[in-house]
Structure 1
Amino acid sequence: MKMISPENLDLTIAAAQFAALGSEQRLGVLRTLVRAGPEGLSIGELGARSGVSGSTLTHHMKILASAGLVTQARQGRSIICAAVAYADVRALSEFLLTECCADRAAPCEDHLHD
């Protein structure tokens, strides 16, 4: 998935990515991959670290991959999973916060950094 600026983030893409993150287990899997860094983890190690394994992990990885948030690649006999959409995840949060308090008559205090 290409990098998306928060100003041009299409609602459909944002909705799909938020939907992919709408499960505690999927969010946990993504956080585990983010913590692992760009090298990623084998599917077995991802399962051990995230507490999600087997067909459930496969299901969640398919949803996260469809949303463009993770990749899976075969390396020898292992499948390596990695978070790839750091910029997209950042753009999702900016998508929500970029217009913070835009409809208020008085400007908001900068409470985004609290």
Structure 2
Amino acid sequence: MNTRPDPDLTLTRMATAFAALGSEHRLSVLKTLVRAGPEGLSIGELGARAGVTGSTLTHHVRVLAQAGLVSQERRGRSIICAAAAYPEMRALSDFLLSECCADAAAPHAEHDHG
């Protein structure tokens, strides 16, 4: 039984996440949520800190949530957003660095990120 992840599915998942980050506004929103920590921020506070508000913020949060990078939770009358996918974000960086220098003639120790 093969328990290794399907490389095509992994590539698709990574491409979806990277595509979600392909906007300065979305990257700013995610960075703001990462800085806020696991408690997250209300949608109003998130908008104020990230400099993105209204329907534009709603759109960007939705794209990030669909990529699995952000969660949204209703608390009373507020919607709280949080960077819920710290493991997913680590997987993105690991994906990029996992084969660092694999094709180089002489891999350098300073490139070892593992």
Place the TM-score, normalised by the shorter chain, in its bin. Answer: 0.7 to 0.9
For 1:54, the equivalent position in structure 2 comes to: 54
User: 5+ unaligned residues in a row in structure 2: which ranges?
Assistant: none
Aligned-pair Cα RMSD in Å = 2.0
Q: TM-score under structure 1 normalisation?
A: 0.88
Q: TM-score under structure 2 normalisation?
A: 0.88
The alpha-carbon deviation at position 110 of structure 1 amounts to: 1.9
| Segments ≥4 residues shifted beyond 6 Å | none
Of the two structures, which has the highest relative contact order with CA contacts closer than 8 Å and spacing of 6 or more?
1
Distance 1:106 1:80 in 2: 48
Question: Is the counterpart of residue 79 in structure 1 residue 52 in structure 2?
Answer: no
For 2:21, the equivalent position in structure 1 comes to: 21
Opposite residue 43 of structure 1, the aligned amino acid is: I
For the Cα contact (< 8 Å) 2:21–2:27, is it kept in 1?
yes
Opposite residue 33 of structure 1, the aligned amino acid is: L
The alpha-carbon deviation at position 98 of structure 1 amounts to: 1.0
Distance 2:47 2:104 in 1: 45
User: 5+ unaligned residues in a row in structure 1: which ranges?
Assistant: 1-5
Aligned residues: 109
For 1:98, the equivalent position in structure 2 comes to: 98
Question: 3-state DSSP class of the match of 2:13?
Answer: helix
